[in-house]
Amino acid sequence: MTVNTISERQRALVEEFDFFDNWMDKYNYIIELARALPLLPEEEKSEDQLVQGCQSKVWLKAEKKGDHVLFKADADAIIAKGIVALLVEVFNDQPAAEVAKADLEFLKEIGLQDHLSPTRANGLMSMVKQMKYYALAYAG
Amino acid sequence: MAYDVQQIRAQFPILNQEIHGRPLVYLDNAATAQKPLRVIEAISDYYLRYNANVHRGVHTLSQRATDAMEGVRESVRAHINAREVAEVIFTRGITDSINIVASGMTTLVEKGQNIVITALEHHSNIVPWQMLCQRTGAELRYFPMNENGELVLNQIDTLIDENTALVAFNHISNALGTINPVEQLLRKAQQVGAWTLVDGAQSGPHAKVDVQEWGVDFFTLSSHKMYGPTGLGVLYGRRERLEELPPHQGGGEMIATVSMEESTYADIPHKFEAGTPHIEGVIGFGAALDFINEVGVEAIAEHEHMLLEYALERTRVIDGFKVIGDTKHKASVLSFLVEGTHPYDLGVLLDQQGVAVRTGQHCTQPIMDAFCIAGTARASFACYNTKEDVDHFVAALEKSVSMLR
């Protein structure tokens, strides 16, 4: 059940992050999001679900539900898992067509994109790209 | 004379800064060391007062630059006790040094021969030999290691045989800090007449090496790991070997005569130094060597060892702390994992607290595969680190672990 649109969910996350004035606290929150993300069963963590271009292992699964797309994700490092959890939070169970064309302004607004080192920022972009590929395939 | 770490720290301006609002604790020295002020000044002095191309100008600046560069070649010779200054070749780095030997050996090695390395090598001392074996049909062999990250040499007489063309290994492992049994390996290689190469990437800043005493054919150093500039390495080679080895690159500086039909090559070391060299790098490296010699390699090693022992003692009490490469003979590298945490996460949270460590595979994927781990976090110490650095590191690590569990 989708209650919020992609942009409403982004707005909510930006407000959450506004509570924290340093990155240790932001990381704490990211770690909490990671813990809240349901685990992916071991048998679903296959090589072909791995997101290319991440320093740690990140698995991303998508499923079509009507014109919506469902996402599940996991990672071996918890901060990477928290970051992918942010994306799942925004995109899960949204119309595939909306996911495909969504603008992820919140990544800039919460400062994550600038905060990450270039290799990690690339990893983040790879996650986003992967989700959009799935959405595009389902929307088509 | 007592080791005055504060006086040493004062020579490294970069250390005096805050990262994310916390004092910088730099513990990624095995990747690259910071530079003392005199290295930075030597480089700017060169550009401010005597920048010129070397070896071929008759004018005064060129003469000064040449003298400075060749003076450093002599410093390197003295540092490793090479027989003659011509045996010191300046390269782009250790990767380049090893590739010079590996590509030069293409016409000297044939099918039926073998190259022997170890399970503890950096990728730069694996891949060039794999490529050489692909070009020549030679076989690549390696010594395995045990669960403490020590080489297992009980197969030495079968691994190194009369068909061994070359034995190559590092003095000290960058990933684990293991100090390898150099003399035993060299002795065996010399018995069968194989060429030998010791990678000194991690020994340069921490240990005194005498290449004549070892009787090694090739030895490598990295400027930037020894408080000098990046982009510069050393290949030491025994004269006989360097004369036998064909040059890997053609161009200016490395020739004696050139006609449109053929060229003759310059003598060593210039035969292996095609093109305008990294003059500023060499000059900066000279200042770095002066610094190391002034403090004393043994004094530095002793100080770092004290820090390692202290770090081991302080981290032992952290629940789930595990040293990877728990060997008795060990340089100042602390490669570790903490149960229930991922090294990347530790690296990120340590950085947030001002502590710089390396995370990942340290360019040694086969070692990580052998331990069945994706990577480690690694703290490595240098001459300017203090016990307070270790205290900050341990406190930051404890905090990170408590957030991650």
CA distances from B140 to B94, B106, B167, B197 (A): 20, 14, 10, 15
Pairing of β B358-360 and β B355-356: unpaired
**In chain B, where are the structural domains located?**
5-30+296-404, 40-293
Average pLDDT value for residue range A27-38? 94
B402–chain A Cβ distance below 8 A for any pair: no
Supply the CATH classification number for the domain B40-293.
3.40.640.10
- Are B280 and B264 in contact by the 8 Å Cβ rule? The answer is no
For B127-195, the DSSP string reads HHHHHHHHHH-PEEEEE-B-TTS-B--TTHHHHS-TTEEEEEEESB-TTT-BBP-HHHHHHHHHHTT-E
**In chain A, where are the structural domains located?**
6-139
Q: pLDDT at residue B344 above 50?
A: yes
How much is the pLDDT for B309? 95
H or E element that contains A96: helix A96-101
The domain at B5-30+296-404 falls in which architecture? Answer: Alpha-Beta Complex (3.90)
pTM: 0.91
B374–chain A Cβ distance below 8 A for any pair: yes
Determine the Cα–Cα distance for residues B365 and B373; give it in Å rounded to an integer. 10
How much is the pLDDT for B93? 97
Q: Active-site residue A123, yes or no?
A: no
Q: Complex ipTM, two decimals?
A: 0.87
- Are A123 and A58 in contact by the 8 Å Cβ rule? The answer is yes
Residue among B20, B342, B403 minimizing CB distance to A77: B342
Main-chain phi, psi angles of B197, to 5 degrees: -135, 125
Look up residue B29 and give its amino acid: N
Which of A18-27, A38-47, B267-276, B395-404 is predicted with the least confidence, judged by mean pLDDT? A38-47
Q: pLDDT at residue B80 above 60?
A: yes
* Highest-pLDDT range among A16-20, A112-116, B361-365: A16-20
Would you call B360 and A57 a contact, using CB atoms and an 8 Å cutoff? no
Would you call B20 and A76 a contact, using CB atoms and an 8 Å cutoff? no
Average pLDDT for chain B:
95
How much is the pLDDT for B368? 84
Query: Distance, in angstroms, between B342 CA and closest chain A CA?
Result: 5
From chain A, the residues in CB contact with B343 under 8 A are 77
Bond preceding residue A95 cis, omega within 30 of 0: no
pLDDT band at A1 (very low <50, low <70, confident <90, very high): very low
Residue among A28, A31, A56 minimizing CB distance to B344: A56
Q: What is the pLDDT of residues B81-102, one digit of tens each?
A: 999 999 999 999 999 999 999 9
From chain B, the residues in CB contact with A20 under 8 A are none
pLDDT band at A129 (very low <50, low <70, confident <90, very high): very high
Average pLDDT value for residue range B305-321? 96
B364 vs B247, residue with greater confidence: B247
How much is the pLDDT for A3? 63
Query: Distance, in angstroms, between B268 CA and closest chain A CA?
Result: 41
A126–chain B Cβ distance below 8 A for any pair: no
Range A6-139 classified under CATH 3.90.1010.10? yes
State CA B273 to chain mean position distance.
20
B373–chain A Cβ distance below 8 A for any pair: no
A76 vs B57, residue with greater confidence: A76
How much is the pLDDT for A116? 84
A114–chain B Cβ distance below 8 A for any pair: no
